[in-house]
Structure 1
Amino acid sequence: MKALVLCGGHGTRLRPITHTSAKQLVPVANKPVLFYGLEALREAGIEDAGIIVGDTAEEVRRAVGDGSRFGLRVTYIQQEAPLGLAHAVLIARDYLGDDDFVMYLGDNFLVDGLTGVVETFRRTRPDAQLLLTPVADPSAFGVAELDRDGRLVGVEEKPRRPRSDLAIMGVYLFTPVVHEAVRSIKPEARGELEITTAIRWMLEQGLRVTSHVVHGYWKDTGRVEDMLECNRLVLESQEPRVVGEVAEDCQTVGRVVVEEGARVSGSRLVGPLIIGPGAVVRDSYVGPFTSIGPGCVIRDTEVEFSIVMERSSVLGVRRMRDSLVGKDVVITPAAAQPRAYQFVLGDHSRVRIG
């Protein structure tokens, strides 16, 4: 069984971060969200993964390499444009051959992993298997309709009037029959080959498409709020570890991780949190559910419930929370007099002033 991991797309909901970075590589607890998925695939016994890449192909290649760090053999498959999930299956035909496969969206986060799901599929081997979960706003997702006996009878992509609250998660399991399905469909109104259209074709042909409702934690990390929530979840489960330098004038409370080469002085750390390798925290408060990336500098600042990505500096900020700060960002206060805010902001930025 192989894996097909989707790392294309433009990540518009995470702009401006994704103007310069792949959305699948935005870190959760200082590890790219994509890495959690690759680790879950290997734990499920999968050894071969094809990764669909687009405009951010080189960044993904640098981060993942040949896959050996994850115990995987990785093949990269270039997608000319984000033309839909079914299009990704279509262009991966030669790579997938006649193998069963799991298709995994690289920006999804599934806390319970994939082992049980893959084992069930291997044992029962339907033509396709979907994972479903109840959501508050199903119109933002592909939606599944079940009959009274719990059998899948219909799917629809981002419907205006959803027939259920069951969203289709970003994990799909297929036998090779799906290749006939993706060849048999046409692009929808958005110009994309939708995987829900292919699944609907399979249902109409009388093929066996099963579903499983998942009640564990799952997130499509397409929005800042979702990234911060995943960050909180992972940090809550970490064990405290201090291998960096924490001065005697510091106070640490709760599950605090200070990585090798990090230096903390004159500060209060209230976990769960992580301070990445080589980061410097001085005369600051770093509060719960915060990830400080490698090489960052936090000085004379209060920050909590936030992700600060690598090599960024936050200097003299009175209070920062619920924030996602990209790479190589510098945040400093304006001159004392006259008081004013000064911004250099990319497209689609969001700023709240307190």
Structure 2
Amino acid sequence: MYYLIAMKAIILAGGHATRLWPVTKHRAKPLLPLGEKPIIEYILDDLEGEVDEVIISTNDKFAPDFDEYVEASDFEDVRVVSEDQDNEHDKPGTIGAIINLIESEGLSDDLVIVGGDNYQSFDGADFIEFVKEKDAPANVVYDVESEEMASQFGIVDVDDDRIVGFKEKPDVPPSTLASIAWYFFPEEDLDLFDRYEEHFAETDIPEDQYLDEPGRLIEWAHEEREMYAYSFDGEWFDVGTPQGYLNAVASITDDKIVEGTVKDSEVDDDSIVMEGAEVKNSKVKKSIVFPNAKIIDSEVRNSILDQHAKIKDVNLNDALIGEHTQL
């Protein structure tokens, strides 16, 4: 069995989470609360003791927030590296960020690369043990179990656990195995990133596509190197969408989390009412109420209320209410 000598992890946290605006307009998505801790902490828990160092790759706008989080945490060997961009227009893209980080930090170790906006129920240590045995590039995949769902994701086709095909949002999926943002690249295969960039630079595909779509890398690289798929049972959520975020919260909360004040109201077990928030004479179902928000004489379902928002005599469903908003 092959054992890795040195391994680093990169958590990709440089996006601006526009699908969750206005809630994430001034807040890094991986630092959003998920149950009783932020999303990124689940990833760090999985990686702790499994890698030599974790690098959080973010942008200038959110770097201070991640620095503050890391300094206040008990995690060791975690550091923050900032991309030179502070808005959505200037971001280098997911793959571009990885390429820049490898070059700027001189990374030459085996790399685990994780998207900072996913929640999944598998143990990261199991994936790392899998790649130790394979000593080859690998991608975590999740069976969405239906062709209709599969058409919404990058879909991996496998022969046993070897990747033999990849299609981005296919009309006719070759399988129901969705590619999710956990990847592994051994040190000797890091050249794939430069070769990938060189290859697509000679095509007519726009740079903002091939440098921002990880699926294209898997689609291209599995024909250049033998690549493997790690499949797991359990749950996976794309926390980058409002419904994905709400579903993830509902999945991990066995009982409602109420840190604020609830009076003459109904709050279901899939909801979170954070410290300082107030809910009076209202019903709250599968929703997240941030600190110091107020809900009065209202019904709120499948919604997110940011801090200091205030609603009264309102019926909300599938809503994102920004900070300090009053309705």
Compute the TM-score of the two structures, normalised by the length of structure 1: 0.74
The answer for the alignment partner of 1:335 in structure 2 is: none
The answer for the alignment partner of 2:3 in structure 1 is: none
C-alpha separation in 1, matches of 2:64 and 2:229: 34
Q: Please give the per-residue CA displacement for 1:287-342, whole angstroms capped at 9, x wherever unaligned.
A: 4x33322222222223344332322222232x3344333333222xxxxxxxxxxx
The answer for the alignment partner of 1:306 in structure 2 is: 303
C-alpha separation in 2, matches of 1:137 and 1:55: 35
- Does structure 2 retain, via aligned residues, the 8 Å contact 1:126–1:210? no
- Does structure 2 retain, via aligned residues, the 8 Å contact 1:66–1:74? no
C-alpha separation in 1, matches of 2:223 and 2:36: 44
C-alpha separation in 1, matches of 2:180 and 2:251: 18
Whether 1:131 and 2:136 are equivalent positions in the alignment is: no
Shift of residue 49, structure 1, vs aligned partner? 1.6
The answer for the alignment partner of 1:271 in structure 2 is: 269
Whether 1:323 and 2:323 are equivalent positions in the alignment is: no
- 2:262 partner SS: strand
C-alpha separation in 2, matches of 1:30 and 1:327: 21
Q: Alpha carbons of 1:210 and 1:216: their partners in 2 closer, same or farther (altered >3 Å)?
A: same
Q: Alpha carbons of 1:223 and 1:201: their partners in 2 closer, same or farther (altered >3 Å)?
A: closer
Within-5 A mapping of 1:69-108: 69-78=74-83, 80=85, 81-93=90-102, 94-95=104-105, 97-108=107-118
- Does structure 2 retain, via aligned residues, the 8 Å contact 1:48–1:73? yes
C-alpha separation in 1, matches of 2:105 and 2:66: 17
Q: Structure 1: which amino acid aligns with 2:92? A: L
Equivalent residue in structure 2 for 1:222, among 237, 240, 252: 240
Q: Alpha carbons of 1:256 and 1:86: their partners in 2 closer, same or farther (altered >3 Å)?
A: closer
- Does structure 2 retain, via aligned residues, the 8 Å contact 1:30–1:291? no
C-alpha separation in 2, matches of 1:182 and 1:70: 29
Shift of residue 130, structure 1, vs aligned partner? 1.0
Q: Structure 2: which amino acid aligns with 1:52? A: S
Percent sequence identity over matched residues? Answer: 27
Deviates more, 1:22-31 or 1:87-96: 22-31
- Does structure 2 retain, via aligned residues, the 8 Å contact 1:6–1:103? yes
Equivalent residue in structure 2 for 1:167, among 158, 178, 183: 178
Equivalent residue in structure 2 for 1:28, among 34, 41, 50: 34
Whether 1:212 and 2:218 are equivalent positions in the alignment is: no
C-alpha separation in 2, matches of 1:57 and 1:178: 30
C-alpha separation in 2, matches of 1:113 and 1:306: 29
- Does structure 2 retain, via aligned residues, the 8 Å contact 1:292–1:310? yes
- 1:109 partner SS: strand
The answer for the alignment partner of 1:146 in structure 2 is: 158
Q: Alpha carbons of 1:270 and 1:166: their partners in 2 closer, same or farther (altered >3 Å)?
A: closer
Shift of residue 184, structure 1, vs aligned partner? 0.8
C-alpha separation in 2, matches of 1:199 and 1:286: 42
Q: Give ranges in structure 2 of 5+ residues lacking alignment.
A: 1-6
Q: Alpha carbons of 1:268 and 1:199: their partners in 2 closer, same or farther (altered >3 Å)?
A: closer
C-alpha separation in 1, matches of 2:33 and 2:171: 32
Q: Alpha carbons of 1:279 and 1:96: their partners in 2 closer, same or farther (altered >3 Å)?
A: farther
RMSD of aligned C-alpha atoms? 2.9
C-alpha separation in 1, matches of 2:296 and 2:72: 37
Equivalent residue in structure 1 for 2:196, among 171, 185, 190: 185
- 1:164 partner SS: coil
Q: Alpha carbons of 1:266 and 1:31: their partners in 2 closer, same or farther (altered >3 Å)?
A: same
Q: Give ranges in structure 1 of 5+ residues lacking alignment.
A: 238-254, 332-354
Q: Structure 2: which amino acid aligns with 1:328? A: H
Shift of residue 175, structure 1, vs aligned partner? 0.9
Q: Alpha carbons of 1:330 and 1:115: their partners in 2 closer, same or farther (altered >3 Å)?
A: farther
The size of the alignment, in residue pairs, is 305
Q: Structure 1: which amino acid aligns with 2:58? A: V
Q: Please give the per-residue CA displacement for 1:106-127, whole angstroms capped at 9, x wherever unaligned.
A: 11111234121122223x0422
- Does structure 2 retain, via aligned residues, the 8 Å contact 1:67–1:73? no
- Does structure 1 retain, via aligned residues, the 8 Å contact 2:122–2:233? no
Shift of residue 62, structure 1, vs aligned partner? 5.5
Q: Please give the per-residue CA displacement for 1:264-305, whole angstroms capped at 9, x wherever unaligned.
A: 333344434332112222333334x33322222222223344
- 2:323 partner SS: coil
Shift of residue 60, structure 1, vs aligned partner? 4.1
Deviates more, 1:137-146 or 1:66-75: 66-75
Structure number, greater radius of gyration: 1
